[in-house]
Amino acid sequence: MPKKTISERIEREKGKLVTLLRQEQLIEARELEAKRKRDTRRNLIIGEIVCKYYPYAEQLVPKKSKADNDAEFAQLDRFFQQLFSVNEAVAKLEKSASAPVDTDNTNQID
């Protein structure tokens, strides 16, 4: 078997590089898809919790455009803006939420 020329070896290595780059792109695409699925699942769970304690949110209907969604969800957005603008109250809520579940209902927020 005759030795390959430098240009043949370069071409072979370029082919390997192209293959490796494709594999890298596929891995990145899989990672992005997995992240998207995790984010979607998390958002669904958060939405279910919000609807459980704030029934008004169940009445909201997603629209086709961002502008229409902004208008439809404006009240809910303002609600959360107000809720989280009061840092001391949020800190108490977070502390209370991280405490063990109290089935006797004696562990209420001060």
Per-residue pLDDT of the chain (110 residues; tens, 9 = 90+): 678 899 999 999 999 999 999 999 999 999 999 999 999 999 999 999 999 998 889 999 999 999 999 999 999 999 888 888 887 777 888 888 887 766 665 555 55
> Each residue of 62-91: pLDDT tens digit?
999 999 999 999 999 998 888 888 877 778
**Is the model's pTM score more than 0.85?**
no
Domain ranges of the chain: 1-59, 61-99
Within 10 angstroms of residue 92's Cβ, the number of other Cβ atoms is 13
Burial of 110 (0-12, 13-18, 19+ CB in 10 A): exposed
Query: How far is Cα of residue 8 from the mean position of the Cα atoms in its chain?
Result: 47
CA 56 to each of CA 39, 51, 90: distance values in angstroms, whole numbers, following the listed order: 24, 7, 21
